[in-house]
Each structure stands twice: as structure tokens, then as C-alpha cells.
């Protein structure tokens, strides 16, 4: 039994039981396009692991342990799907198909970075809690001669996110807001380089102040 196959079962049970207590094995088999025998075998294994509550002829439901696991994997799927569509400009059907494959192998750390990079945590309560963005402030509101570490990006315009990433505004990088001594305008120091950034773009960068 592969991890991906096991996780597929948990996620699909989650989908089928979100609005009802249990899912029938025949329903799960049809939904996943597998044989009833394969479903029974997997459910028996998952039951022994404490992931599902399964009674033959009565149906299957997720245990608390299984529910937490399934939601975690599904969250990574949504992060990947959002990243593919909004950063790489992949169409929704392809993004969904590829996210189904990558959700099983991407690490929690990488998923979190993608979440912070795209601002997905702003529409996902679970991600918002995990990303811990409560103390961050927008770069546009920071005082001159102040800095910190980029916490996350947030914009309703995917093009802005793509532009910021291309410039080098990546969560975890150090950033500083300085003043040009000649013009008095803001200059953004990003790591070891200075960059000119439009004012509206700085409103999409959020920083954990030093």
C-alpha cells in the first residue's frame, strides 16, 4: 500500500462524508473507480491504523485521527492548486490534476512557504493559524530606516504576486525601507540589493519587523 493511495482513500472518504455520517463501500468504489474488493481491503488496513471506523455492510467514516490527517493532506492540495493557478498561470483542470499528485510528496515546510508566497492563508483558516501572521505589517506602512523579514505576500491580483516573486520578494528574506538621500523617495533594500518598487506593490508585502 503506497502512501499516496492510502491518502487518496482518506481524502475521498472525507469528501463523501462531509454532509452525512458514513459512506457506503460501493459508493466509495464508484467514486474512486476501483473494485469493491480493493475498497474492503484498504478499509480494513485503515481501520487497524485507527484512521477509519468501518463496519461491513454499514459503511465507513473517519475517526478523529483520520479526519485530521485527511484535512491536512487536502489543505496541501488546495495550496498547490492555488499556487499553480495564481503563480504559474496553469489552467484550473491541469492545476487540480497535478495538485492531486503533488499533495502526497510535498513537505509541510514547502507547502507553508507556498501558502505564504501566494497569500492563500488569507482565505484558509487552517493556514492562517499555522502561518502565524498576526504580528506582520505591510511594507508600505513601515517607517523609513526600518526593516524586518518578509512574512508573506497578499494581493487580490495574481499578477502582482508574480511580479513580486520575480523581483525577489520571497517569504523569509530580509527587507529594509530606506530613503534616497537626493530625492527623499523610498528605496527598498532586498537582501544585498536595492530595488525600485511601485508603491502599490509594497502594499502587498508583509513584514515581521525587527
pLDDT score, position 29: 93
pLDDT score, position 112: 84
Take residue 200 and report the three cell numbers written for it.
502599490
Inter-residue contact 147 to 165 (CB < 8 Å): no
- Render pLDDT for 13-70 as a digit per residue (tens, 0 to 9): 999 999 899 999 999 999 999 999 999 999 999 999 999 999 887 889 999 999 999 9
What's the chain's average pLDDT? Answer: 85
pLDDT score, position 13: 95
Helix residue spans in 49-157 (DSSP H)? 64-86, 92-102, 108-118, 125-131
Q: What are the start and end residues of each CATH 1.10.10.10 domain in the chain?
A: 3-62
> Rounded mean pLDDT of 71-91?
90
pLDDT at 94 over 50: yes
pLDDT score, position 183: 65
Confidence band, pLDDT 50/70/90 cuts, at residue 124: low
Region of residue 200 (left: phi > 0; alpha: psi -120 to 50; beta: else): alpha
Percent of the chain exceeding pLDDT 70 equals: 88
Residue 134 or residue 80, greater confidence:
80
Q: What is the pTM of this model?
A: 0.73
Take residue 44 and report the three cell numbers written for it.
480494513
pLDDT score, position 55: 84
CATH class, range 137-209: mainly beta
pLDDT at 134 over 70: no
Inter-residue contact 167 to 197 (CB < 8 Å): yes
> Rounded mean pLDDT of 124-145?
70
Distance CA 158, CA 181 (A): 33
> Rounded mean pLDDT of 75-104?
91
pLDDT at 151 over 60: yes
Q: Which fold has domain 3-62?
A: Arc Repressor Mutant, subunit A (1.10.10)
> Rounded mean pLDDT of 134-147?
84
pLDDT at 79 over 80: yes
Q: What are the start and end residues of each CATH 1.10.60 domain in the chain?
A: 67-131
Q: Which CATH architecture describes the domain 67-131?
A: Orthogonal Bundle (1.10)
pLDDT at 92 over 90: yes
pLDDT score, position 95: 93
pLDDT at 76 over 50: yes
Take residue 172 and report the three cell numbers written for it.
523569509
Amino acid at each position: 500500500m503506497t502512501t499516496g493511495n492510502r491518502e487518496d482513500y482518506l481524502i475521498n472518504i472525507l469528501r463523501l462524508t462531509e454532509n452525512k455520517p458514513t459512506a457506503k463501500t460501493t459508493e466509495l468504489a464508484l467514486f474512486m473507480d476501483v473494485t469493491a474488493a480493493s475498497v474492503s481491503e484498504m478499509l480494513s488496513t485503515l481501520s487497524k491504523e485507527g484512521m477509519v471506523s468501518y463496519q461491513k455492510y454499514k459503511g465507513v467514516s473517519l475517526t478523529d485521527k483520520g479526519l485530521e490527517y485527511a484535512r491536512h493532506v487536502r489543505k496541501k492540495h488546495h495550496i498547490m492548486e492555488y499556487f499553480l493557478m495564481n503563480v504559474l498561470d496553469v489552467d484550473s483542470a491541469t492545476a487540480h490534476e497535478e495538485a492531486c499528485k503533488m499533495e502526497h510528496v510535498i513537505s509541510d515546510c514547502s507547502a507553508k512557504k507556498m501558502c505564504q508566497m501566494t497569500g492563500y492563508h488569507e482565505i484558509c483558516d487552517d493556514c492562517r493559524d499555522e502561518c502565524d501572521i498576526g504580528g506582520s505589517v505591510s511594507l508600505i506602512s513601515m517607517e523609513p530606516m526600518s526593516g524586518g523579514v518578509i512574512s508573506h505576500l497578499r494581493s487580490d491580483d495574481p499578477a502582482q504576486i508574480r511580479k513580486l516573486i520575480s523581483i525577489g520578494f520571497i517569504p523569509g528574506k530580509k527587507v529594509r525601507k530606506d530613503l534616497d538621500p537626493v530625492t527623499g523617495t523610498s528605496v527598498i533594500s532586498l537582501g544585498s540589493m536595492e530595488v525600485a518598487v511601485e508603491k502599490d506593490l509594497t502594499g502587498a508585502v508583509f513584514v515581521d519587523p525587527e
